[in-house]
Structure 1
Amino acid sequence: MINLKKHSNIALGYFLLVGLLGLFLRLFFVTPVAANFRYVVHAHSHIALLGWVYIGLITLFYRMYFKDSQITGTYRKIFWFTNITLVGMLLTFPFQGYALFSIIFSTLFLIASYWLAWFFIKKVPKKYRERSSWKCVKASLIYMIISSIGPWAIGGVMATLGNTSIWYKLSIYFYLHFQYNAWFILALLGVLFFLVEHLNIRIDKKAFNSFFILLNAALILSLFLSALWVEPPAVFFILAAAGAIFQAWAFIQFFRIIRPVWKELAAHISLFTATLLKITALFLAVKILMQLLTAFPYFAGLSYLYPDFVIGYLHLVFLGIISIALFAFLNFFNLLKISRKIFWIYLAGFLLSEALIFYKGAAIWLGLPFFTEYFLILLIISALMPLAIAILLAKNLKSSIVNDSGR
């Protein structure tokens, strides 16, 4: 029997490390720090995506499809092998950046992710294979594999063209696009539809298929949004705009599917979980609007000229959509216990830090006044998020110890 609560706590532990690394990065702008900023950024981003989100999602997947299964041995091997690679990255990236040992651990993680995708696609019980939720989850795993083309390409680009080449950035954007917009979002949608199916709530299959096709078309075409900063030929702007429009259209379809069943769904989940999902939906709408704007050449140029807008967008998706949705689903499946007070501390830190990040970009863009204590205030406000996560982790670890000792 696999202790999935333990796995959830491990994922949350990575989230805490991500928050602390983020604070450390903020500290660089407040006082001299004896460390390499770029190296710490590499550690921060890798543990964010591959630690907290990845481990959180695969824990949910196992809970969904293998709760009553005896298939544990292979999954255990994959899980712990993955964690060895994550610890390896955590211990190497901050000190050497992209170098021999960090590249070895990153490569081993990619191999582990392929192994994991094979495990789920091969072993998921037949009774789930025709369900809408599995369509989303299976597609998300395929996009996860596709996203790995980016890291493989980076090695070749660095060896031949160097890290100043546009292809270096394009390889990173390729990876981030299929991670953030495809693998993570589709995986979370799969969990949501599984929840609907688990509660025996019927959805319109025809409407779902239409949404699924539109979303996949959008995910392919919206990749071009990540390339507009190089000022490509007009056809790239047309394809990017089509991707942004298809994405908006797809999620209009999605909300049309969910809206008729929301009352029934909300009646079977806690009020707090429902609130988390509503907040996620709000941030998702903001994300879609931002991507629509970047389809216009003027706004695409802004995102390249003012990196704070890109940082704010990435944090919106990671901290505002993906992480809050993970909180909601882990809470629903009783894999984490999340209190309202702790979440509001987290949300306050997120919203205030986002406001400051976007304000800095807008201030440089529009020539707005900029205050001297900006970076110190941002550091203090950002500390609310790891504080909330630390309290949450401590409470869940204490609960696990109490439950284990009581058996």
Structure 2
Amino acid sequence: MKPITAKHLWSFPLIFGFLGGVIGLVLRYAFTGSIANFPFKFVLHSHSHIMLLGFVFNALIVLLFTRFTNGINKTSYRLYLALQVCVAILLVGFIIQGYALITIIFSTLHLWISYWLVIRLWKQLVGKKSDLTLIKAGIIFHFISSIGPYALGPLMGMKMQASPWYQQAIFFYLHFQYFGSFFLWMLAILFQRTTVELSKKQIILIISALVLLYTHSLKYSFNHLAIQIIGGISSIILTLFFLKLKKSFSKQKLTYQLFFGILLFIGIMNCFGSIPYFSNLVITNRFMLIAWLHLLFLGMYLPFIWMELETKTHTSTWIAYTFFLLTSEAFLVFPAFFSELFSASIMWLLFIAYFGVVLCISIVHLTALFQKNETYELTRTR
């Protein structure tokens, strides 16, 4: 077996991130009404799974193995490759048949293989105790999140697809991924790079806040004052947690200072999401929901992953990406205003904005993919 290098590992999230972006752009074009009989739901499933599993999950796993272990061993690398086969099959399978036998089998297989891989990661971890605690908590959240998908089968068997619990099973999985595993892994990598070390009390606070934030998802199905209060408290804790780190980040290089601003903004937006008026907007307005999800994935996770690439993203690309992303968010939040302002369909305006976003993604990912810099060996013998 040839030596495994960082470039070998990075090639998959870079490729899937590029493909996921292109599929998303095709979706935006189809929403303009330019493609007849387009399978919107099928393609949307493909787009979301590829960006979630093929890009963000892959990239964070690569960063964890390269930053917090002494090297990925051959067994772990084979498991990583097996995950890529599953993602590739899901990419095509969802477009062809949506949720059906093949996609159910390989999404389940991806989950089971990921268990094996993260357990091996846990056993190989080295680094600061506070960082490792965050990573381990993220691994535990990864297991907890899978309760959601496992609940879907019994709910379908009981013909409860129309019940709020079916939707909550999906939300449960998503929350404990993007505000559980992914979030804690990202923080561990960030704190290692910026030499920020958390106390035991701070770790308990951030983990507790992320668990309680699930109440924001419950708001989609249930209207209860306790849900609103718990969501508000957890959002405030999250925001205060980041405010406490302001002094530490003020000493870091500009890139990390700006990213700290993004984290603080996400915390503040969660506080707004605890106010009934704004939470109801997200629940009743699909554009607002998409704006929030894109803010998390395109406004937080993607910039973080680009920051950690060996290939540095050019300043002009950062500026262009920020412009197109903020423009797309504005279109989603104020569709009627911009449609009237430009005398154009909001779907065409969104397509143009996302064309810019995907163009930037293409530039960064393809540049990193075909770079000719020297890579370092990551192979271990067992």
The two structures share one fold, judged by TM-score above 0.5: yes
C-alpha separation between the residues in 2 aligned to 1:227 and 1:176?
A: 12
Structure 2: 5+ residue stretches without partners: 376-382
CA distance in 2, matches of 1:73, 1:342: 36
Q: How many residue pairs align between the two structures?
A: 372
Query: 2:36, 2:111 → 1: CA distance?
Result: 32
1:65 equivalent among 46, 64, 68: 68
Matches of 2:91 and 2:237, distance apart in 1: 38
How many angstroms apart in 1 are the aligned matches of 2:368 and 2:267?
A: 34
Higher relative CO (Cα under 8 Å, sequence separation at least 6) belongs to 2
State the Cα distance separating 1:157 from its structure 2 match: 2.0
Task: For 2:370 and 2:273, locate their aligned partners in 1 and report how far apart those are by CA, in whole Å.
Answer: 45
Evaluate the alpha carbon distance shift between residue 383 and residue 369 of structure 1 in structure 2; reply closer, same or farther with a 3 A threshold: closer
Does 2:107 correspond to 1:106?
yes
- 306, 316, 335: which one pairs with 1:327? 306
Check 1:204–1:65 CA distance in 2 against 1; reply closer, same or farther (3 A cut): closer
The residue number in structure 2 matching 1:80 is: 81
Within a 5 Å distance, the mapping from 1:271-350 to structure 2 comes to 274-275=254-255, 277-330=256-309, 334=310, 336-350=311-325
What is the identity, as a one-letter code, of the residue corresponding to 1:165? S
AA aligned to 2:122 is I
Q: CA deviation at 1:363?
A: 5.9
Change (3 A) 1:368 1:288: farther
Flag the 1:220–1:189 CA change in 2: closer, same or farther, 3 A: same
Which residue is 2:177 aligned to? 179
**What CA distance in whole angstroms lies between the structure 2 residues aligned with 1:255 and 1:113?**
34
* CA distances 1:259-307 after superposition (whole Å, capped 9, x unpaired): 4xx42x42xxxxxxx32x3333233222222211222223222211112
- Rounded to whole Å, the distance in 2 between the matches of 1:61 and 1:230 is 35
Distance 1:370 1:124, change over 3 A: same
> With structure 2 as the length reference, what TM-score do the two structures score?
0.90
**8 Å contact from structure 2 (residues 130, 197) kept in 1:** no
Distance in 1 between residues matched to 2:368 and 2:274, nearest whole Å:
43
Structure-2 change in CA distance of 1:169 and 1:369 (3 Å): farther
Judging changes above 3 Å, is the alpha-carbon distance between structure 1 residues 229 and 397 closer, same or farther for their aligned structure 2 residues?
closer
2:223 aligned with 1:232:
yes
User: In the alignment, which of 19, 27, 44 is matched to residue 41 of structure 1?
Assistant: 44
Q: Give how far 1:254 is off.
A: 3.1
Question: Which one of the candidate residues 331, 334, 346 is aligned to 1:356?
Answer: 331
Corresponding position of 1:241: 232
User: What is the CA distance between 1:221 and its match in structure 2?
Assistant: 1.2
Task: Give the structure with the larger helix fraction.
Answer: 1
Q: Give 3-state SS (helix, strand or coil) of 1:229's partner.
A: coil
Aligned amino acid, residue 45 of structure 1: S
Note the aligned Cα RMSD (angstroms): 2.3
Deviation at 1:359, TM superposition (A): 1.2
Q: Cα offset for 1:392?
A: 2.3
- The answer for the alignment partner of 2:7 in structure 1 is 5
Pick closer, same or farther for the CA change 1:33–1:346 going to 2, 3 Å: farther
Deviation at residue 204 of structure 1 after TM alignment: 6.0
- CA deviation string 1:43-69 (max 9, x = no partner): 111111101111111111111123x44
Match of 2:379 in 1: none
Q: Following superposition of structure 1 onto structure 2, how do residues 160-179 of structure 1 map, counting pairs within 5 Å?
A: 160-179=158-177
Question: Which residue in 2 is equivalent to 1:135?
Answer: 133
Letter in 2 for 1:241: G
Counterpart of 1:200 in structure 2 is none
Amino acid at match of 2:57: Y
Query: Relative to structure 1, is the Cα distance of residues 358 and 119 closer, same or farther in structure 2, using a 3 angstrom cutoff?
Result: same
- Secondary structure in 2 matching 1:399: coil
Question: SS at 1:387's partner residue?
Answer: helix
* Structure 2 contact 324–357 (Cα < 8 Å) conserved: yes
| Structure 1, unaligned runs of 5 or more | 198-202, 267-273
Residues 114-147 of structure 1, C-alpha deviation per residue, up to 9 Å, x if partnerless?
Answer: 011101112224xx3x522111111112112211
Which letter maps to 2:43? V
Partner of 2:370: 398
Shift in alpha-carbon separation, 1:222–1:349, aligned structure 2, 3 A: same
Query: How far, CA to CA, are the matches of 1:33 and 1:348 in structure 2?
Result: 31
**What residue in structure 1 maps to residue 360 of structure 2?**
388
% identical aligned pairs: 30
Change in 2 beyond 3 A, CA 1:290/1:161: farther
**Which residue matches 2:30?**
28
Alignment of 1:118-267 (within 5 A): 118-125=119-126, 128=127, 131-197=129-195, 203=196, 208-256=199-247, 258-259=248-249, 262-263=250-251, 265-266=252-253
Q: 1 CA distance for matches of 2:337 and 2:96?
A: 34
Where 1:302 maps in the other structure, the secondary structure is helix
Counterpart AA for 2:167: K
Moved over 3 A (4+): 367-372
